Structure 1
């Protein structure tokens, strides 16, 4: 059983991941010159879209952000902060947001897989739910932005989710407690994703010959 302190830390990190994902939605909306409503919509679908699909598929009720509206306030606050930050002529190093996104991705994968297992899903389904939780929101964001979703291109993103989900479910299968399994999974996702970011790694593309 998890300690209250660990549960609280995971919750705070979950909110941090929500803010990071929402901010990536803000950036896409800004690039497309959307109005404030467009910014909020893209921020919201990026941050909670994957978790919403997961909860609908596994039959979780109520959906997590309906049960805890703190997620919505974090999204609104991030959208407002992002629109303000866009007017500030100071830029962060290019790697800050991708690395923060990788951390949020690692945590979202574990949360999605864990929740699926709690609702009686098999290990394979839990891995799929982890991938959906981590990458589903970005996929919806890119579709709304009329772009080819990043997870369907050469970017090593969904691959990191799959790897992390397998590590988590396998660790539990072999008798590890939740916390060690969570840490192993998150480290696996971070290792794959951060390595791909800094070394500019990508998967080979599939191309049909004429």
Structure 2
């Protein structure tokens, strides 16, 4: 009986996957039981970034840059996942440096986020000596409480502080606290405006990176 022969396997796309063996037919002399997706034709030798593909009864060599990641000058990232594709001539092997304007926009967005957080969580030490909420909602609530006290002719009111403690305060104290809140909110806006100007005026990447956008 004839010995087995080496045949060459390929996947459903025709891409060479390796060797196997084909056994002779027990019924027909000179006939081999070649597995599906295999051929006795030996694939060509391939080099770096090449692969052998079997189609239409013959082998051919194709580019194989699968897994290669590259960047285009516009900053977009791409990864080659199919054979036959090549890396463009203008491709970069690492992300390009962002433009000054794109960094400027990023820093402005970071500032907006920091300011929004600071405005929602604002608190400060009041002229009455205790810590108070100093966000825009607190300002609205205090204004409403002042109107309520004046309308009802009340001299004192129970006031809840930042640490959830309660203090009995007078109308005059409440008005002073209102001023404290407005002053704190205004300071937050002024810092934001100053930082916006610094970002817009920054002449370089280094200058933009050096801007501290913390609102404290």
Q: Sort the TM-score into its range (normalised by shorter chain).
A: under 0.3
**Greater relative contact order structure (CA < 8 Å, 6+ sep):** 1
**Greater Rg over alpha carbons, structure:** 2
TM-score by length of 1: 0.24
Which one has the bigger helix percentage? Answer: 1
TM-score by length of 2: 0.24
